[in-house]
Amino acid sequence: MDINQLLRAHQIALFGAARAPDQARRAAYDEAIPALATRIRRARKASGADVTAARFVVGEGVIAYRDR
């Protein structure tokens, strides 16, 4: 996936989680959101973007300073 596809998939997952009527359906997004956020950071880094900010998208874990 390119960066635009990743960003789109991430937004769809966020909206899906927000609109899920119950916790069981919301749980389906619990792994997808951070996984997509990680892939977005990697894609940005690979393209030469500055990734020193703590977070770029929702769901992204706090990255240790030395791993940036």
How many domains does the chain contain in total?
Answer: 1
Task: Please count the other Cβ atoms lying within 10 Å of the Cβ belonging to residue 36.
Answer: 26
CA distance 37 to 29: 12
CA distance 19 to 49: 32
Residue-number span of the structural domain to which 45 is assigned: 3-67
Q: What is the pLDDT along the chain (68 residues), one digit of tens a residue?
A: 899 999 999 999 999 999 989 988 888 888 888 899 889 989 988 988 888 776 777 777 655 444 44
Q: What is the pLDDT of residue 52?
A: 77
Contact between residue 40 and residue 10 where contact means Cβ atoms under 8 Å apart: yes
Contact between residue 50 and residue 43 where contact means Cβ atoms under 8 Å apart: no
